[in-house]
Amino acid sequence: PSDEDWVAELPMGVLRETGRRLKDLADPGFSGARPQGANPEMASRALLELYAVVTEVGE
Average pLDDT, the chain: 92
Q: Specify the pLDDT at position 3.
A: 78
For 6-26, the pLDDT digits (tens) are 999 999 999 999 999 999 999
Q: Report the 10 Å Cβ neighbour count for 52.
A: 11
HSE-up of residue 3 (Cα within 13 Å, Cβ side): 3
Determine the average pLDDT of the residues in 17-40: 95
Residue 57: its pLDDT value, please? Answer: 80
Domains in the chain: how many in total?
1
Q: Whole domain around residue 14: which residue ranges?
A: 5-57
Let me know: does 46 contact 18? Beta carbons within 8 Å. Answer: no
Read off the pLDDT band of 27 (50, 70, 90): very high
> Exposed, middle or buried: residue 25 (CB in 10 Å: 0-12, 13-18, 19+)?
buried
